[in-house]
Structure 1
Amino acid sequence: MDNLAEQFNQRGATALPGHLGMVVTHVGKDEVRAELEVRPHTMAPNGFLHAGSVVTLADTCSGYGCVTNLPAQANGFTTIELKSNHLGTAREGTIECVARPVHLGRTTQVWDAVVSHRDTGKTIALFRCTQMVLYPPA
């Protein structure tokens, strides 16, 4: 785990990523990686991995990537759109996410993420989000 990943783990420890047990393993300008152990609190009542757990993992990776790539004058961002295609699920093990930038603009960023099962390599979800870059009032 790199130092920047540890900083983001500390930042999210008391928020939803920490509550779910997400662990960020790498943060770079071109890629963010994190993992989530499949546990009872990440499941839906039907016994399968909750789609919200998957989306939270992907959105968090993309958001941390956005923060890492903010223009110098920007002071934050907000997700303005997201889409996920769920192709599989899990009942045990660990899921992993890899997020990469598609567009790093002055006013928006677009990130793609792939969530997969660590042991099987099976793709769980494909995810894309758009973030609006925020600036302080003039």
Structure 2
Amino acid sequence: MTEKTSAATPDGAVAEGELTALLGTMPYAVTLGVELEAASAAETRGHLHWAPERCTIGGALHGGALMSLADAVGAVCAFLNLPPGAAGTTTVESKTNFFRALREGTARAVARPLHTGRSFVVVQTDLYDDEGRRLGQTTQTQAVLLPRA
């Protein structure tokens, strides 16, 4: 992700009208169907609806789709936590634990920063179903990209 959005509210949250533009910087997430609900440096929220074309055997939402949701929402959170002068961010490590399958409804992601530094941002993204049951948890490390000389 590159080029920070300038349309933030006084509390540092991305203005509602800018969420689509921010997500638009990640074409894969858009193609998959990820949607952002809210984004700030403190917490970013998004979701992905269950659909048969996103499933594996037995009708469960594919783990890769859940990981992609976590990666996209976590990347936005990391991006909003970049230090001044950073050019962008990229995922360098991601680990997901799955706890239950999603067979209908919506997967919801809540990303929060665990560490924000000069070189790396570490984000934890919790995945839930519509009933608030935990589907999984992703911890990802994002490298801080510096401008090219």
Q: What's 2:70 paired with?
A: 58
The secondary structure found in structure 1 opposite 2:67 is: helix
Distance 1:9 1:137 in 2: 24
Letter in 2 for 1:58: A
Distance 1:63 1:96 in 2: 15
Q: What's 1:3 paired with?
A: 17
Superposition deviation, residue 45 in structure 1: 3.4
Distance 1:32 1:6 in 2: 13
Q: What's 2:143 paired with?
A: 132
Alpha-carbon RMSD across the aligned residues, in angstroms, is 1.5
Superposition deviation, residue 7 in structure 1: 2.4
Q: Which runs of 5+ in 1 are unaligned?
A: none
Q: Which residue of 33, 40, 50 corresponds with 1:28?
A: 40
The secondary structure found in structure 2 opposite 1:11 is: coil
Q: What's 1:117 paired with?
A: 129
Contact 1:114–1:123 (Cα < 8 Å) also in 2? yes
1:69 is the counterpart of 2:81: yes
Q: Which residue of 67, 80, 103 corresponds with 2:115?
A: 103
Letter in 1 for 2:61: L
Q: Report % sequence identity.
A: 31
Superposition deviation, residue 61 in structure 1: 0.7
Q: Which runs of 5+ in 2 are unaligned?
A: 1-14
The secondary structure found in structure 2 opposite 1:106 is: coil
1:41 is the counterpart of 2:75: no
Report the number of matched residues.
Answer: 135
Distance 2:127 2:54 in 1: 14
Distance 2:68 2:122 in 1: 16
Relative to the length of structure 2, the TM-score reads 0.84
Q: Deviations 1:89-131 (Å, cap 9, x if unpaired)?
A: 111101100000000101000000100001x211100110001
